[in-house]
Amino acid sequence: MLSGGAFADDPDSVPDRYISLALQGDLSRAESLFASMNPNTVSISNVELAARFQARFIEQSENLLPSTGDDFSDAVISAYRKYWILTLIGDMSSQEGEDFLKSSLRQVLSNLNKVEFSSPSAGVFELVGEIFDEKGVHYLDTPAPPLRDLFLWKTEENRRYSVRLTDRTQRVSVTFMNGMYSLGWKQFATLGLVATTGWVEGSQLYCVEGAYDRSSENFEVSYLKHEARHLADLERFPELQSADLEYRAKLTELAFASASTRQLLYDFTSKSAPNPASPHAYANFRVTRDVYQEMFGEPFPESGDAWQVIDVQSVNKAARDLLEDLNQKPFKQLPGNRQQAFEQLDKPALKPLPRHPYRYVEIKPVKVNIDYHVQYRQHYYSVPHQYVGEKLELHAGESLVTIYFRQQVVASHARKHGSGITTEAAHHQWKQENCLVCILIHL
């Protein structure tokens, strides 16, 4: 889910044209865009935007090191930012850029004496993730065509919602992320004008805390319904490509929008491009053209203000009809369509929703330290002393940490979200006067 400010109702404004280039992952034409500004009419804000672009991408004089307070986090973020710059301005191809990123991250790890690599193809992203996990920092590296993305955040909390879509009600669990260190390549490329504020990972939704007023239509429609549509479609139509998923999610926004309808249409129009390699921009292009055709029975005008006069209910209906048409569209290589497949295959197999809502649990292997504690994020939890040196399985829920050995529970603790040590007296082997060893080991 992308969020960003709008720049009047003019999809041809300099910031919007810049954003459109940035979201396609190609800033090679941005310098000429700023050079074409009329010096007699250009606004101060556009001059400032041009100066920031020049410093970051052309002169590359901007300090890429953030100030997280942690050298490892700073070095990793800096490596991603350098990779983003070189790829966005066209100095490297996507593959060359990714190879450069891997090499940079291997150097970061080697400089910190974190790991020795047996080959250049070692799983560098997994190793970086393990170190962030040890530090208690949440880390997500993921392909987000045409670049790799990086999200880092300090803390999180979970909430559950029941979201009504056009064709079903979807139960979702949302993780709200706080203390963002990195907001991904789109935020970096657009100079902060646009940012990724939410996504789906497995069956879990993620949302940047503070990006939305949770009581607003923006949160209800452009986040919850957008992301819930992704989740529903991934469950029912796992073959859908990224651009198709975005297309359906943006139609869902327009199907329910009221006060935000006009702004959504301008936003989609200004950030659109007929570029299949950029899922968001291509989905925007298809949505605006298809909704206009559905409403007015004629092609989208390539000049002028297409949305100057609109009726909210007409937009809602057009979006709903397009979603329904997509479900009825025949398969290319199989008989029938998505709706028929659902009615014949999925619907008969559906069972009543569980009495209790789904509870997200993170599962990870852990090794018991000499002090009979295991580490999860920045906190240490005790297990019975006889398991020292053993590999156990830790399940971390919202409020409970449970530790298993060969599928048998050996310890259970209330989850702590800060650094520290939780010790159960029954797990103790040593005399009371020697308990100080437990604390000193972790200092």
Indicate the DSSP class of residue 15: H
Residues with Cβ within 8 Å of 367's Cβ and at least 6 positions away in sequence, in order, are: 374, 389, 390, 391, 392
Per-residue pLDDT of 152-176, as tens digits, reads 999 998 899 999 999 889 999 999 9
The span from the CA of 201 to the CA of 231, in Å, is: 9
Q: Which residue type occupies 78?
A: S
Q: Which tens digit of pLDDT belongs to each residue from 63-117?
A: 999 989 999 999 999 999 999 999 999 999 999 999 999 999 999 998 877 555 4
Distance CA 167, CA 180 (A): 34
Phi (first) and psi of residue 263, to 5 degrees: -65, -40
The pLDDT of residue 398 is 84
383-407: pLDDT as tens digits: 999 999 999 999 998 889 999 999 9
Q: Using the predicted structure, report yes or no on whether residue 252 has a pLDDT greater than 80.
A: yes
Angle between helices 94-111 and 71-88 (to 10 degrees): 160
Name the burial class of residue 351, with classes exposed (0-12), middle (13-18) and buried (19+) by CB atoms within 10 angstroms of its CB. exposed
